[in-house]
Structure 1
């Protein structure tokens, strides 16, 4: 009996604490949910929860800068619809004005909690073509984005964190210069990458010891009218890794394909490659000689199983 009583005393407080925190909440800008602001719902979530937490977001425009903190693990933001659920803010480098690292503070949504999941919504930086202005900043491991639109101009998506894994599926991403950049490991599947002006799609900064950087599979590279001079990528750091596979490459991609960031030394270390792409921008004959065309055994190293190292993204 004494042992049973002791067990109950140990269990009951845990149950009481768990009951104080909801695992599902609703955010609605019209006041019909539990919260009207996303940040309020996130801040009300349990830190390092034992169970996943889902925040349902009704259609509406949420004009706020949103932080999913490192302690907000296992958090999902599920929108009512991609076109109707919009998270929007307009920070940019000059507005933040915090010195040389201001770019990394311009985000609309920053994800620092591991095992994050976003679906059916839009993340937008509305600053316009005024310089660095991040829409989505990911510095968490195992982050998944499904049916999400991410809109901006320069530096739209920043993937931070050495070896941190992200998955983007059926997403729309638009921008101008280096609009997908960083040192993280990410797989983009069946996504549309739309260039709004001449520039660069990627700017990877993959560490030398990491085998995988930015990998695009079955994606579509498109452009706004009049855009006709875009590179697949350039190396933000010497060992940048970016690979485009089985993708439709539009005519806006320059024949050279890749840029060395005005430094020939980068040509010796950058790990840029393509495999079995198609479309008018995929012609291989005029590609820079220091970028590679992969063979099947080499391409297999960039499949999801190798990139994710045991992680199974939700919904994949």
Structure 2
């Protein structure tokens, strides 16, 4: 009798172990759908279904819908593709701004990305707060982040690239805002993007560290503006040594002749690394540009076509 009980107990233990093993099997494809037809109803819930620090690719398919949530992609997630069903219909949105309970700029994000080696495709990432202060839609802290065919919507401070020496790439994206709506210390390439100004103000506010060669690079982008907007600067330095270049971009007539601003600090003129190369359009005339910005030579511009130069000799990551 005792032997039989021992055998039964052993069988039950084996069955329990097998069930536990089965329960901890991780999927390589997850579906998020607001209507409950997927694996998860929110992006925040989906984060819990992704194994930490995995070395294989995980795809999170996000069905069309309005996802009103404040999302954090944590630092222990990597090698994940977040793919929306339709860029205009798959919308992640929230409405925090800096003047809510003294929140400040850096807590206002709709989507904060802390993990590395992540891709976001076909998504709208929006902060739809009223124009009452800084309101970040996308806040990045991770390295090797790729955004493809995404819409980044907001007003002041739409995109915050928050950590120095991290590398970002935006391909075929639409980015809109009012003031300093692309800002921070990261190295970021914007290629074939539409950059849309909603108010007379400044597009970029880089804070590139002195020891980082490349800050913001805009290649083959189109700069547009809302009706009545007619005095927009390409950038102003949030900190000394800010680096921003526009290469073969189409600049609308809303870009003012001076092109760049010193943020009311003449000392910034000695360190800012601002340049343009073969831009076209009504806002591309160079004769009125500030004297402390420059035009790149052919040789200098060619370096920005080299992804190893752009992304710090990174042979392991070529987003193009």
- The TM-score with structure 1 as length reference comes to 0.92
* 1:184-199 matches, cutoff 5 A: 184-199=186-201
Match of 2:308 among 302, 305, 310: 305
> 1:168, CA displacement in angstroms?
0.2
Q: In the superposition, relative to structure 1, how do residues 61 and 313 fare at CA in structure 2: closer, same or farther (>3 Å)?
A: farther
Give a deviation string over 1:241-272, Cα, whole Å, max 9, x none.
Answer: 00000000000000000000000010000000
- Does the residue aligned with 1:206 lie in a helix, a strand or coil? coil
Instruction: Give, in whole Å, the separation in 1 of the partners of 2:91 and 2:35.
Output: 14
Instruction: Give, in whole Å, the separation in 1 of the partners of 2:238 and 2:23.
Output: 45
The aligned residue for residue 9 of structure 1 is: none
The aligned residue for residue 147 of structure 2 is: 145
Match of 1:217 among 213, 216, 219: 219
- Does the residue aligned with 1:228 lie in a helix, a strand or coil? coil
Give a deviation string over 1:117-172, Cα, whole Å, max 9, x none.
Answer: 00011000010311100000011100000000000000000001111000000000
> 1:219, CA displacement in angstroms?
0.1
Instruction: Give, in whole Å, the separation in 2 of the partners of 1:297 and 1:17.
Output: 58
| Alignment of 1:82 onto 2:84 | no
| Alignment of 1:109 onto 2:111 | yes
Give a deviation string over 1:70-96, Cα, whole Å, max 9, x none.
Answer: 001112210001011000000110115
> 1:192, CA displacement in angstroms?
0.1
The aligned residue for residue 184 of structure 2 is: 182
Match of 1:41 among 42, 46, 69: 46
> 1:22, CA displacement in angstroms?
1.3
Give a deviation string over 1:171-227, Cα, whole Å, max 9, x none.
Answer: 000001000000000000000000001110000000000000000000000000000
Q: In the superposition, relative to structure 1, how do residues 185 and 18 fare at CA in structure 2: closer, same or farther (>3 Å)?
A: farther
* 1:165-176 matches, cutoff 5 A: 165-176=167-178
The aligned residue for residue 6 of structure 1 is: none
Instruction: Give, in whole Å, the separation in 2 of the partners of 1:63 and 1:47.
Output: 25
The aligned residue for residue 165 of structure 2 is: 163
Instruction: Give, in whole Å, the separation in 1 of the partners of 2:246 and 2:199.
Output: 20
Larger radius of gyration: 2
Q: In the superposition, relative to structure 1, how do residues 273 and 80 fare at CA in structure 2: closer, same or farther (>3 Å)?
A: same
CA contact (8 A) 1:167 1:313 kept: no
> 1:20, CA displacement in angstroms?
1.7
> 1:17, CA displacement in angstroms?
8.4
The aligned residue for residue 14 of structure 2 is: none
- Does the residue aligned with 2:178 lie in a helix, a strand or coil? strand
> 1:51, CA displacement in angstroms?
1.1
| Alignment of 1:273 onto 2:279 | no
The aligned residue for residue 37 of structure 2 is: 32
Q: In the superposition, relative to structure 1, how do residues 212 and 17 fare at CA in structure 2: closer, same or farther (>3 Å)?
A: farther
Instruction: Give, in whole Å, the separation in 2 of the partners of 1:133 and 1:282.
Output: 30
> 1:302, CA displacement in angstroms?
2.2
* Unpaired stretches in structure 1, ≥5 consecutive residues: 1-12
> 1:19, CA displacement in angstroms?
5.7
The aligned residue for residue 8 of structure 2 is: none
Q: In the superposition, relative to structure 1, how do residues 46 and 166 fare at CA in structure 2: closer, same or farther (>3 Å)?
A: same
Instruction: Give, in whole Å, the separation in 2 of the partners of 1:199 and 1:302.
Output: 27
Runs of 4+ in structure 1 over 4 Å off: 16-19
Q: What is the aligned length?
A: 299
297-306 or 203-212: which moved more? 297-306
* Unpaired stretches in structure 2, ≥5 consecutive residues: 1-17
